[in-house]
Amino acid sequence: MRDKIIDILKTNNLSLPRLLLLNYKQLNITEKELVFLIYIINEKDMSFNPKKISKELNEELTYVMSILESLMEKSIVRLELVKLNGVRNEILNIDELYVKLSHLVIIEEKETIKSTSIYDIFEEKFGRTLSPMEYAIIGGWIEMDFKEELILLALDEAIYNGVYKLNYIDKILFEWKKKNINSKEDKVKNENDFKTKKTEKKELYDYNWLEENE
């Protein structure tokens, strides 16, 4: 997942300057360093030319070098020697910046997933906003120690049967409680046991007792 996000960042399919602008403080980047990075990101030629950078940013050469040194210390930018057409050239490498930003994207995605509450799921499945009473009923199930997993299983069961009412789900939950069903595994086991008993009962009724006595 991380590699995919890094690739997207490198190809600028994601608005990198905006992503950087919103998160630079978390990366311990100063505002002056931010300007330098946005300049570098928008440069097609990554060859390190401090005089050119100094001129285009309208800053002193010593200033540019101090910003670069600071970013290198923070492991955000590094200088690399590469051979281009047989000539050694110094280039700016910002791969570590992509890695750090991808980490922030992943964290944000995980937090978004976590923020989806059981109430949101009910509203999504019902296709409408829950009433205050319905919020209270669902909250009551949670207070009675019904696991969210079990409540959502009961929700799916109700929808499968075409019923979009909490009182129906309430009956399912308390019926499962009687049968000691506390998880998906318990539910599957209960259904399998029921099918087994049903098959055995059918075989019992289908057995020809007269033939056995002949």
* Per-residue CA distances from 61 to 41, 81, 107, 211 (Å): 19, 21, 37, 106
pLDDT tens digit string along 95-154? 898 888 888 877 766 665 555 688 989 999 999 998 889 999 999 998 898 988 999 999
Task: Round to whole Å and give the CA distance between 32 and 63.
Answer: 10
For residues 54 and 130, state if they share a domain.
no
pLDDT at 14: 45
Q: What total of structural domains would you count in the chain?
A: 2
Give yes or no: residues 129 and 49 share one domain: no
Q: Are residues 102 and 122 in the same domain?
A: no
Q: What is the CATH number of the domain that holds 41?
A: 1.10.10.10
Give pLDDT, residue 5.
Answer: 42
Integer Cα distance of 186 and 184 in angstroms: 5
The Cα 33–Cα 40 span in angstroms is: 11
Residues found in the chain: 214
d(CA 160, CA 183): 18
Give the domain-ending residue among 50, 81, 110. Answer: 110
Q: Do 18 and 104 belong to one domain? A: yes
Give the range of the structural domain holding residue 91, as residue numbers without chain letter: 2-110
> Where is the domain boundary, 110, 143, 167?
110
Question: What's the pLDDT score for residue 77?
Answer: 93
Chain segment 31-87, per-residue pLDDT in tens: 999 889 888 888 878 888 999 999 998 999 999 999 999 999 999 999 998 887 778
**What per-residue string of b and e applies to 15-52 under the rule 16 or more CB within 10 Å gives b?**
ebeebbeeebeebebeeebbebbeebbeeeebebeeee
- State the Cα–Cα distance between residues 57 and 43, nearest whole angstrom: 13
Partner residues linked to 162 by β-bridges: none
> What was the pLDDT predicted at 113?
53
Question: Which residues have CB under 8 Å from 100's CB, separation 6+?
Answer: 27, 76
Residue 63 shares a structural domain with residue 154: no
What is the distance between the alpha carbons of residues 198 and 187, in angstroms, rounded to a whole number? 17
Amino acid letter, residue 141: W
pLDDT in tens, 14-43: 446 678 888 889 899 999 998 898 888 888
DSSP 81-143: EEEETTEEEEEEE-HHHHHHHHHHHHHHHHHHHHT--HHHHHHHHHTSPPPHHHHHHHHHHHH
Last residue of a domain, one of 61, 84, 110: 110
Which of 75, 111, 110 has the alpha carbon at shortest distance from 93?
75
- Predicted pLDDT of residue 89: 87
Whether residue 89 is found in the same domain as residue 30: yes
CATH code assigned at 202: 1.10.10.630
Q: Judge if 92 and 179 occupy the same domain.
A: no
